[in-house]
Amino acid sequence: MLPTLLKPGWTFCYACEANSPPRSFHCMTCNKCILKRDHHCMFTSQCIGHSNYRFYFWLVFYGWCGTMFCAINTVPYVLNLLDGFSIWKLPYFILPLFCFVLQYIPFFTAISSFITLLSVVFSCALLALLFWHCSHIYKGQTTFESSHRIYDYDLGWKENIVQSFGTKWYLTWICPWINSPLPSDGIEFQTKANYENSKDQ
Cα–Cα distance list, 75 to 39, 104, 184, 192 (Å): 33, 19, 45, 47
Using a 10 angstrom Cβ sphere, with 0-12 exposed, 13-18 middle and 19 or more buried, the burial of residue 125 is middle
pLDDT interval class at 85 (50, 70, 90): confident
Mean pLDDT, residues 108-127 taken together? 93
Q: What is the pLDDT of residues 16-36, one digit of tens each?
A: 989 999 999 999 999 999 999
pLDDT of 143 over the 90 cut: yes
- Provide the pLDDT for residue 1: 47
Confidence of residue 7 (pLDDT cuts 50, 70, 90): confident
Give the mean pLDDT of 156-162: 95
Q: What is the pLDDT of residue 192?
A: 87
Give residue 2's pLDDT band: very low, low, confident or very high (50, 70, 90). Answer: very low
Is 160 within 8 Å of 54 (Cβ atoms)?
no
Report the candidate in 7, 5, 27 with the shortest Cα–Cα distance to residue 15.
27
Rounded Cα distance between 68 and 128, Å, is: 13
How confident is the model over 130-144, as a mean pLDDT?
Answer: 96
- List active site positions: 41
Q: Which of 131, 125, 195, 127 is nearest to 160 (CA)?
A: 195
pTM of the model: 0.87
Lowest pLDDT segment from 62-71, 98-107, 155-164: 98-107
Average pLDDT over residues 165-174: 94
Q: Is the pLDDT of residue 165 over 90?
A: yes
Cβ atoms within 10 Å, residue 67: 20
Q: What is the 3-state secondary structure (H, E, C) of 104-167?
A: CCCHHHHHHHHHHHHHHHHHHHHHHHHHHHHHHHHHCCCHHHHHCCCCCCCCCHHHHHHHHHCC
Compute the distance between CA of residue 121 and CA of residue 20 in angstroms, rounded to an integer.
39
